[in-house]
Amino acid sequence: MRHRGINRWFRRLATLFGGAATLACLALIISWWLVPPVLDDGSRTAMSLRIEDRHGQALLRQVGADDQWREPIPLETMGPHVPAAVMAVEDERFLTHLGVDPIATTRAVFQNIRHAQVVSGASTLTMQVCKMLDPAPRTLRTKWIEAIRALKYEREHQKDEVLELWLNIAPFGSNLRGIRAASLHWFGVEPEDLHLAEAALLAGLPQSPERLRPDRNPDAAQKRRNHVLDRMLTEGWIDQEAHAEAIRQPIHLFHHPERRSIPDAVGFLAAKRRPRGGTTTIDPVLQHETKALIQEHLLRLPAGTDAAAVIIDTSTNSLIAMVGSPNRTDPQDGWVNGATALRSPGSALKPFLYGTAYESGRFSPESDIPDRAIDREGWTPNNYHRTFDGLVSAREALRRSLNVPAILLTEATGVSKNVATLRKLGLSLPENATERGGLALAVGGLEVSLLELTNAYATLARSGEHAPVRMFQDDPKLHPNKVFSPETCAHLNHDLASWAHAPAGMDELPPRDRPWFMWKSGTSSGHRDAWALGHNGKYAIGFWVGHFDGAGDPAFVGREAAGPLLADAFSRLVPSVTPPPDPSPLQVSRPYSFDQELLAQDGPRIITPARDLVMECQSAYHQPVLGEGEGLHWFLNGKRFELDGEHVRLEPGSHRLVLVDQFGRRDVRQIVVQQARRSIAR
């Protein structure tokens, strides 16, 4: 009878377990179909915005939309200690189970039944990944759902993928998500460079990230770290000697230096163009030197002057330096990006208008252009010096930035054609640019940005081929757009070269002692904007000087305010280049004829020299001069002189010879005297 009772009891127990197993299998099958798999939309692994210079140093860092720092990295770059520590303390059978650990689950079930509440979750790393991807309150139901999802997840992913994801999304205290953000913050090193004790401390944090923060609760953090090391020893990940050494290590947290500098405007511009971040083309050394150069020159300019700069590597069309504001700490103007602000360029567009005229086949640098008073529907433009020079060559008119010749050239070639050229050069002009700018286009009638205008000058360095500015190392090199012929660019570069057309500050230097670069200045109406831009074939550089609020100042003259900045940039910031050869004459197929009234030759005339000259001598040069007209007065470099004999003495440098008659009419010659190189006898 006793054996019958025992057998009956075993049969009932077997029936009970069989029924439970059947119900469990049925629940598993139903749940498998009803519970959707967890989805990774990428938000948990999206890297926090990080804009870097070309050497990988941060230009700008910003947390994600949820105020968390995330810097996901591949598992193979996490080093050997961190993955081992995590598996030892969080999921000892991770490498062998299918997403759910049956042994741990059985143990947890009995513990939870005994305590009548959830005291042990038996969560595997895979289950934790599912929970972090889709957080939910901690209940038996959510545990069951996490288990189903974990089984499904491991059917589609390898163990390395699960471990890598866990290590990239787990919380590590403060607002740190992922092992790299934690490693850099707490210890100042990459995960692969962590010592065993440091890796163990980080592996222990996700259990209770805030309670175990080593900066606030170092004792709790150390106790948890030692527990992790014990688990690593038990599971065979480390030996007794390594365990003992790590246990003895004190906790040394990384001291972050106080960040005093405010991110440059270039970082915010890069973030706007690529919200996901990336490595830019910015050269940090050149960026720093450009900012220092601006600070140096602000000492000679009126107090409160603002400035901006752009430097482009023309070979790759990469932006390598950009300063948007001279004082980032200024609460008002410091956050303005002067490199992208739209401002009136004054005469800085003239090279491209002359280039358009040369491309038409109707003009060349030798073409005569009238510089006389004109009236266009009540608009009577004048030159900067308030006088007119009669007939001048296109080369001389461009070099001296005469307004009326530029306006007449724009009129002759057509405003719409010039606007089309400017658009090809990458300038963002309004849809009604032709009507809005009109002939005033020649004197700054349309606003442009320093960044785009500097890139337009880079086009002249690339023999007329325009390409968008590259800001990131992985930006594709797009096929360039042909705007000007190489011959047109060669003449513009030659006529505006520093050797014959020196910016302020270089006047006293013999032409060949100056670094070679072509350049042009611009001054907007009311002296609100001063520009100087140019290139030396390898680098295109642009500077803007003014007030961000648009207030004018008599000191804001392009040649005087921005020109010295440009001269110093080409002298000190970038390598010098070998000057290009002199270009061959441009052929004019269909010469343009101006109104005879404008072409009428009246006023004085310089007979000798008959044209602009570039002379070479060992010391001073004695230039023969001869003129004709009534009531003549001679001027050299702006100073009147009495012609004593038939020659004038010219020291090495650039000289402007002007002949003015009694009616104020004038004729002009530009003469450059170069210091001859002394040969060495052998």
From CA 100, how far away is CA 98, in angstroms rounded? Answer: 6
Closest CA to 85 of 226, 193, 232, 221: 232
In the set 347, 364, 367, 524, the catalytic residue is 347
CB atoms within 10 A of CB 105: 18
| Beta carbons of 537 and 314 less than 8 angstroms apart | yes
Q: What is the DSSP string of 543-568?
A: EEEE-TT----TT--IIIIIHHHHHH
Question: H or E segment at 522?
Answer: strand 518-523
SS3 state at 73: coil
Task: Tell me if 413 sits within 8 A of 360, measured CB to CB.
Answer: yes
Q: How far apart are CA 201 and CA 173, in angstroms?
A: 12
The dihedral over CA atoms of 506, 507, 511, 515, expressed in degrees to the nearest 10, equals 10
Q: What is the rounded CA–CA span in Å between residue 37 and residue 34?
A: 10
Q: What is the DSSP letter of 436?
A: H
Is residue 276 within 8 Å of 336, Cβ to Cβ? Answer: no
* Length in residues, the chain: 682
Q: Are 468 and 317 in contact (CB under 8 A)?
A: yes
DSSP letter (8 states) at residue 506 = -
90 is catalytic: yes
Spatial contact of 323 and 291, defined as CB atoms under 8 Å apart:
yes
Angle between helices 240-248 and 218-234 (to 10 degrees): 180
Which residue of the set 48, 52, 71, 90 is catalytic? 90
CA dihedral 500, 506, 511, 514 (to 10 degrees): -110
| Residue burial 113-126, b: 16+ Cβ < 10 Å; e: rest | eeeeeeeebbbbbb
CA angle 472–473–478, rounded 5-degree value? 80
Per-position DSSP letters for 179-213, written without gaps between them: HHHHHHHHTSS-GGG--HHHHHHHHHGGGSTTTT-
Question: Is residue 31 annotated as part of the catalytic site, yes or no?
Answer: no
Beta bridge partners of 627: 606
Contact 439, 419 (CB under 8 A): no
The answer to whether the CB of 13 falls within 8 A of the CB of 6 is no
Residue 500 CA to residue 670 CA, distance in Å, equals 9
Instruction: Give the containing element (helix H, strand E) for 674.
Output: strand 666-675
> Rounded distance, CA 208 to CA 275, Å?
32
Task: Say whether the peptide bond before residue 206 is cis (omega within 30 degrees of 0).
Answer: no
Integer Cα distance of 198 and 213 in angstroms: 13
d(CA 104, CA 400) in angstroms, rounded, equals 87
State the catalytic residues: 90, 347
